[in-house]
Chains A and B, each alone.
Chain A
Amino acid sequence: MISKPPVSAEASPDSGRHADNEASQEPLLIATDLRRYFSLPDGLFRKSSRKVKAVDGVNLTIGAGETLGLVGESGCGKSTLGRMLVRLDEPTAGDVIFEGQNISMLSEGELKPVRRRIQMVFQNPFSSLNPRKTIGETICEPLIVHGVGDARSRQARAMELLDIVGLRREHYNRYPHQFSGGQRQRIGIARAFALEPKLIVCDEPVSALDVSIQSQILNLIEDLQRAFGVSYLFISHDLRVVEHVSDRVAVMYLGRIVEEAPTAILYRSPRHPYTQALLAAVPVPDPSVEQTDIVLEGGVPNPIDPPQGCHFHPRCPLAVDRCRIEMPPLFESNGHKVRCWINGPGMHEA
């Protein structure tokens, strides 16, 4: 069991801790112009021309040992993006280069060795474990699928993994329903680590858990990164959680990344009006701090029919005529990328 103080008590001096060595190394994963369109059923037999652009031209890189946080409202495409990186979803277009290999077009058979190195931790610990399999069977399954070791060594490895994630060896023969949400998420993490992957996509790994359990799981995720040097894509809608674990953060809105920067910079000086509004909405647990909310008007537009120009302009307090006509590119300076006509220029185009 993790014996660390809870998140709130812990200062985070080490955010951005990998920022120095990241520039010199080849990134672990590069996604370029990744797109995923879902066509909508239209009538009984015709395939519709209408499409939901769940992910619409996303570029991102993840360095070795780095955590990239991905935040956004529900429905903005962040989960779809994560699923494409592990190829649970097929990209409509775009490339995913993982360790120098383009994995976006590989067949399922060619993909198998790659799957060993990219794993996923799922959102819902209550549905991510097969209720008919014991914990041991679940943790051993990746090893069986990839033909690692014999039955005995696999069991030993599973026991070791139970230790690592803070569960007991007696739990090996239990069924998932005998565990709490937090414990189940530990099992899910043990399964993801079984093959010692290079990259783990964590899709809202703590959002289904109680706040008190969240910090334990977050600490576990961080401890494991320190111990094994794994990279994370950490998807969440919770800005505080993302701040705590991420080296860099990307903000998504309607299928596009609107801002991306090292964590400290993004949280200290957000540039996109959407990020600014999101951060202003994060409650501060201190009554003496006066909070200035930026209230966003309206809701997220229908992704079937996103607004012209900048997708954010109908809700943006700064919007000008240009925003209504032309989609801004990602402007970049010093690793801080912003998709905004107002707060972007002055930087150079990415």
Chain B
Amino acid sequence: MAQPNELTDTSRLLTPADEIPISRFRLVASRVIESWPAKISLAILVLVVICSLVPGLVAPRDPFAQDLSLRLVPPAWSERGVPGYWLGTDQLGRDTLSRIIEGTRITVLVSLFAVSVSGLVGVAAGLAAGFYGGKTDAIILRLIDIQLAFPLILLVIAVVAVVGPSLTNLIIVMGLSGWPRFARVVRGSVLTVRHLEFVDAARSIGASRVRIMSQHILPNIMSAIIVYASFEIARMILLEATLSFLGLGVQPPTPTWGGMISDGRKYISQSWAISLIPGVAIALVILAFNVLGDSLRDALDPQLDERL
């Protein structure tokens, strides 16, 4: 039997395509939007971002302009619909579509910042807990337990009631409400990576703890973090909607999706559309974030590089 030679192995791997350096970002980006659901999700999110950046350009009408002669108009496709008011009007005759578009501003702003806050705190805490173990781990875990033992909504309501419902307060409170879950996810991922031999290898080289955490552990748990963050954004949108619904969010007349649902509740027997439409908007955006999070996780795995 011929001695198996690793050279054959190598030459098989050496295809011409390998030699062309492809930027990692473009590689990942092209893979993210491979599937149709991901493409649609991305389109929805791009639309949302545009709406939140320049609502004035997208909205057909002034979202604050009231017209009491056109109260509770149903969407344009129904019999009593009024042309020009595509999604109908609310109890003060304000255009629902324009208010949805204006509402993305708060929704996107609050949820993105809140996730950033909870992500920063949560990743730091989770990394420390998972990497150092022992007492550090025990203390952080107890803190997580303490906070999770509190009903989230109750906690946020209590804090907002004390500090007042400003935009900044809302972001900080919502952000801090999310860190324990983040920390748990990160800690769990760290534990699976930390005992792999390449971490030992880095230690045996003499790499500092900071280097091991940032260069070896973090990149290997990044996909878990990104995916979790995408779910967290969805949860934050929901939380913001809940707070607005309860009247603890951003105050009227600034339109928010949760606030619109809350307003429409009183008129639900006369006009189903006022509450339903912002609800659908919330559901769509959350779905888009989740789908995109999933495909991002897959795309970030370098083991799929050959698929191109």
Contact = CB atoms under 8 A, between A and B. Distances in A.
Given A128-B198, A130-B216, A177-B302, A183 B206 contact: no
A116 B305 CA distance: 34
Nearest to B217: A130
Interface in A131-164: 131-133, 141-142, 145-146
Nearest to A212: B4
A111 B206 contact: yes
B207 A145 contact: yes
Given A128-B197, A132-B220, A183-B6, A88 B303 contact: no
Nearest to B205: A142
B204 A170 contact: no
B225 to A, nearest CB: 13
A216 B215 CA distance: 31
B191 interface: no
Contacts of B79: none
Interface residues of B, number: 33
Interface string B149-189: 00000000000000000000000000000000000000000
A128 B19 CA distance: 25
A146 B206 contact: yes
Given A6-B3, A132-B219, A168-B10, A127 B207 contact: no
Contacts of B206: 111-112, 115-116, 142, 145-146
Contact of A1 (B7, B18, B219): B7
A119 interface: yes
Residue of A122, A130, A131, A210 most packed against chain B (CB within 10 A): A130
A119 B204 contact: yes
B201 interface: yes
A interface bracket (residues with beta carbon within 8 Å of B): 35 or more
A124 B197 contact: yes
Interface in B260-308: 302-303, 305-306
Contacts of A122: 197, 200-201
A180 B9 contact: yes
B202 interface: yes
A200 to B, nearest CB: 10
Contact of A180 (B6, B18, B216): B6
Contacts of A171: 10
Contact of B21 (A128, A133, A173, A191): A173
Contacts of B305: 175, 178
A195 B204 CA distance: 12
Interface in A53-111: 83, 86, 88, 111
A41 to B, nearest CB: 13
Given A145-B205, A145-B211, 13 more contacts: A88-B203, A115-B204, A122-B197, A128-B197, A128-B201, A131-B302, A132-B220, A141-B215, A142-B206, A167-B10, A168-B10, A183-B10, A191-B201
Interface of A: 1, 6, 83, 86, 88, 111-112, 115-116, 118-120, 122-124, 127-133, 141-142, 145-146, 167-168, 170-171, 173-175, 177-180, 182-183, 188, 191, 195, 210, 212-213, 216
21 contacts: A6-B3, A88-B204, A118-B204, A119-B204, A119-B205, A122-B200, A128-B196, A128-B197, A130-B202, A130-B216, A130-B219, A130-B220, A132-B220, A133-B219, A145-B208, A146-B206, A170-B18, A174-B13, A178-B306, A191-B201, A213-B6
